[in-house]
């Protein structure tokens, strides 16, 4: 019995670990993804609850595969750190939040400066470095150097 103030119960809560998010993350880490967080250049923040992820091999992608993140508002595809929204996502809310979207090609690609984070239950300690796409890797000339 506590005099003078109401007693409070002990509570527990899930602790989510924020990390950069990219399609190069392992499937073991992606299965722990609970929220996708986007911050726009104007300071708006979107937190999307994740219901699942799907890795698909795509030859034209940055790292050999893309990751589809399934959310309540629709599908978000990650290719490296590039984001493409599926046709099932209404882009009006994203535009209102200050995100710039391109509708060229398949889907709606997020353009401009933004912050992309994932909130995870657990992480294996991997830090996403975002190396260049396969086509952007530096190379040496095949012939003489003189």
Residue pLDDT, tens place only, 111-141: 665 778 888 887 776 555 555 565 554 444 5
Is residue 129 in some structural domain? no
Is residue 36 in some structural domain? yes
Q: What is the CA radius of gyration of the chain?
A: 20
Say whether pLDDT at 18 is over 50: yes
Is residue 135 in some structural domain? no
What percent of the chain stands above pLDDT 70?
71
Is residue 118 in some structural domain? yes
Sheet holding 100-102, edge to edge: 17-20, 115-120, 33-39, 45-57, 65-71, 74-79, 82-85, 108-111, 100-102
Residue 134 is predicted with a pLDDT of: 55
- Mean per-residue pLDDT of the chain: 78
Is residue 69 in some structural domain? yes
Say whether pLDDT at 142 is over 90: no
What percent of the chain stands above pLDDT 90?
23
Say whether pLDDT at 95 is over 50: yes
Residue 56 is predicted with a pLDDT of: 96
Of residues 25 and 91, which shows the higher confidence score? Answer: 25
> Into how many domains does the chain fold?
1
Is residue 104 in some structural domain? yes
Domain interval for residue 49: 17-123
Is residue 130 in some structural domain? no
CA distances (Å), origin 22, targets 58, 74, 78, 129: 15, 18, 6, 9
Is residue 56 in some structural domain? yes
């Amino acid at each position: 019995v506590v005099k003078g103030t109401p007693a409070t119960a002990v509570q527990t809560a899930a602790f989510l670990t924020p990390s950069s998010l990219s399609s190069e993350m392992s499937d073991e880490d992606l299965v722990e993804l609970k929220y996708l967080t986007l911050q726009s250049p104007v300071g708006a923040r979107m937190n999307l609850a994740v219901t699942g992820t799907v890795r698909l091999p795509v030859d034209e992608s940055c790292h050999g595969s893309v990751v589809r993140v399934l959310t309540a508002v629709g599908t978000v595809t990650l290719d490296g750190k590039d984001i493409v929204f599926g046709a099932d996502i209404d882009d009006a809310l994203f535009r209102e939040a200050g995100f710039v979207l391109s509708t060229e090609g398949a889907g709606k690609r997020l353009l401009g400066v933004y912050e992309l984070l994932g909130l995870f239950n657990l992480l294996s300690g991997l830090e996403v470095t975002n190396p260049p796409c396969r086509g952007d890797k530096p190379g040496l000339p095949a012939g003489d150097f003189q």
